[in-house]
Amino acid sequence: MDPEKKNTNYQENDSGRIEISNDEWKKILPQEVYHIAREKGTERPFSGKYNAHFEGGIYNCAACGNPLFKSDAKFESSCGWPSFFDPISKGSIIYTPDNAHGMQRTEVQCGRCKAHLGHVFEDGPPPTGLRYCINSVILNFEAPTKSLS
């Protein structure tokens, strides 16, 4: 991240909604995160750092820090993007219709800052039958901290 840019909206323990302009997001997000989050871009399949990542922990929104998915809901789908079958909580994700590119899909956005994350499909594993297909660029992974004993 550019040291000149300071994202004071990034909070992993704050679920309050964020409503700022795209111009402001552009000032505080790295270009690749801005492209996915605000311009609804997508990364090339099989190129993301979390596609084949299966360490235990939490995946947060890279724009605002909102917890999105637990690692135990991640699975190998072979679609080229990180796939999850269940969000961390009901309010962590917003669902919106996406009819772009001649397709009927459901876009998933961050429940806190409305960043574009990817799409959800009904071809996932039990127990939900859903596949949340998410761009790695919009995710930050947080490994559990080891307790001192």
pLDDT tens-digit profile of 102-148? 888 999 999 999 999 999 999 999 999 999 999 999 999 999 876 55
Which of 137, 145, 113, 133 minimizes the C-alpha distance to 21? 113
Any idea which residues carry the catalytic annotation?
A: 133
Total domains in the chain come to 1
In a domain, 37, yes or no: yes
Partners of 111 in the β-ladder:
none
Q: Is residue 110 in some structural domain?
A: yes
CATH no. for residue 129? 2.170.150.20
Residue 125 lies in a domain: yes
Residue span of the structural domain in which 109 resides: 22-142
pLDDT number for residue 146: 61
147 belongs to a structural domain: no
Residue 131 lies in a domain: yes
**Does a structural domain hold residue 14?**
no
3 lies in some domain:
no
The pLDDT of 58-78, averaged and rounded, is 96
Average pLDDT over the chain reads 91
* Cβ density class 77-113: b for 16+ within 10 Å, e for less: beeebbbbbbbbeeebbeeeeeeeeeeebebbbbbbb
Mean predicted confidence (pLDDT) in 84-94: 96
61 lies in some domain? yes
Q: Mean pLDDT over residues 80-91, rounded?
A: 96
